[in-house]
Structure 1
């Protein structure tokens, strides 16, 4: 079990238990019980879009479909272009209205008089990809988020195939789309399948698009963007509730879930897990705890 301790002024403030799975190596904690991977499963669903006949405008669009973007201007314009290429407009999106997730983008949007819109929601790239896939197949657009829709059945099949296990449960993610429960081991297995796939396959296309365009997966200066920029070949995607998955070709993969859902412990635990796997990881994610704007402690991953 990896434990991330939040040490403040010499005292342990709280302890977050993380679950890490390393296929072909060690597993720490409970790696077989199903959980909802949240946005960490988006790359797997993008594979499902490709196997369902999606022809992206550009390969870079696959990164945005797999991402949880900050709604920076370049994110929003790309989502508009993806929808337009499918003959659709932003009104086709069924994700909830939101404001830009990134602080700077949100401030600029509000100063310009903007309001919450579905296209600003951090899952709008995924939804645009879903809609484009429905157009290709002639599937209904209004109901594309329903569990029984052909699109969602195809995505569930992709997640099950890549994880190597059946879907344990169905839920509804924050964006309104179905979310499929698998185990941490299954999530790690799926990420390894993406990076170790043959070039040109749907799996490898998604992995390559994400790694070539990390800023489309999240945003400028975010954890996923920074990590993939600092570690060549690394594929990583975080999710809500303290979830993260990462893989290196030819080495393996890790998946983790912070049991109390705290995001603060996720970065240190992920870096520790990657190092345990044998990946050379620089200290690129902040682990400092601030009090009054000054460093008063740090988050440390321990075994």
Structure 2
């Protein structure tokens, strides 16, 4: 890319932001015009798109062989490899995405207002969900349930989620006051036809 103005880098029309949008639309498998733009807390463009399209992007992050553009494929391979090698740099300590990234078969990243996504390399799946009230507390329980329901083979990853995010709810005095669990059944697309 040629030399560009850094002062306007956060503007949606900046050449770098346009390239980010174009690349993201390609990964998501939708047209750029289908992605709505917003602004995050730091003043940078953020994207709004259907969860199904976001799942497509996570699938391609997990399976870069599905990416047609060689330079984008190489960039994704480099970035996702670094995510797995340094999971704490992605989400921080005691974060669902960082725990999942300890598993080399998973690419994961939490988003804003309850949006979470991950891709499974061997299984060739991209999965996203949104907790409607914007909470992140449920991510670990939902992810555990999804992995159990699909018969995920790395039981250590599921156990690690349960270890870091126990389902027991305790008050400030440490007294057990409840239990958190997720109750849903996954259905395949064929089941809904």
Give TM class, smaller chain: 0.7 to 0.9
User: What is the CA deviation profile of residues 150-205 of structure 1, one whole-angstrom value per residue up to 9, with x for unaligned ones?
Assistant: 01100111110000012331100122110111111111111111121149722222
Pick one of 32, 46, 49 that aligns with 1:179. Answer: 46
Map of 2:6 onto structure 1: 141
- 1:188 aligns with 55
Number of the residue aligned with 2:187:
none
Match among 10, 16, 29 for residue 151 of structure 1: 16
Name the CA distance, whole Å, in 1 between partners of 2:53 and 2:183. Answer: 24
State the partner residue of 1:74.
none
Q: Which residue of 1 aligns with 2:121?
A: 249
- Kept after mapping to 2: 8 A contact 1:184/1:256: yes
Offset from partner CA, 1:182-239 (integer Å, 9 cap, x none):
111111111111121149722222211111110111223332222222x332111111
Runs ≥4 residues deviating over 4 A: none
SS of equivalent residue, structure 2 residue 105: coil
Residue 183 (structure 2) pairs with residue 302 (structure 1): yes
User: SS of the counterpart of 1:141?
Assistant: coil
Structure 1 gap segments, 5+ residues each: 1-52, 54-136
Alignment of 1:1-303 (within 5 A): 137-166=2-31, 167-198=34-65, 201-229=74-102, 231-251=103-123, 252-279=125-152, 280=154, 281-282=158-159, 283-284=162-163, 285-292=165-172, 293-303=174-184
TM-score (norm 2): 0.79
- Alignment coverage as a number of residue pairs: 167
Inter-partner Cα distance in structure 2 for 1:185 and 1:144: 29
Cα distance in 1 for residues equivalent to 2:178 and 2:119: 30
- RMSD (CA atoms): 1.9
Distance in 2, Cα, partners of 1:263 & 1:179 = 19
Q: Summarize the Cα distance change of 1:146–1:234 in structure 2 as closer, same or farther, 3 Å threshold.
A: same
**Unaligned segments of structure 2, at least 5 residues:** 185-193
Equivalent residues of 2:36, 2:48 under 8 A apart: yes
